[in-house]
Amino acid sequence: MKYLVIGKNGQLGKEFIQSLSLEGKDFTAVGHEELDISNLKNVMEVCEMLKPSVIINTSAYNQVDLAEKHFELAYKTNSLGVYNLLLACEKYKTFLVHYSTDCVFDGKKANGLYNEEDEANPLSEYGKSKYLGEIFIKESNINALLLRVSWVFGKGKQNFIYKFL
State how far the Cα of 160 lies from the Cα of 9, in Å rounded to an integer. 19
CA distances (Å), 137 to each of 33, 46, 71, 97, 133, in order?
25, 20, 20, 10, 6
Active site residue 92: no
The active-site residue, picked from 3, 99, 126, 131, is 126
Q: Identify whether the C-beta of residue 80 lies closer than 8 Å to the C-beta of residue 38.
A: yes
What sign results for the dihedral spanned by CA atoms 3, 9, 13, 16? positive
Counts of helices then strands in the chain (DSSP H, E): 6, 5
Beta bridge partners of 3: 27, 54
End-to-end CA distance of the chain: 39
Instruction: Compute the distance between CA of residue 17 and CA of residue 27 in angstroms, rounded to an integer.
Output: 8
Nearest Cα to Cα of residue 16 among 147, 114, 123, 153? 153
Catalytic residue numbers read 126
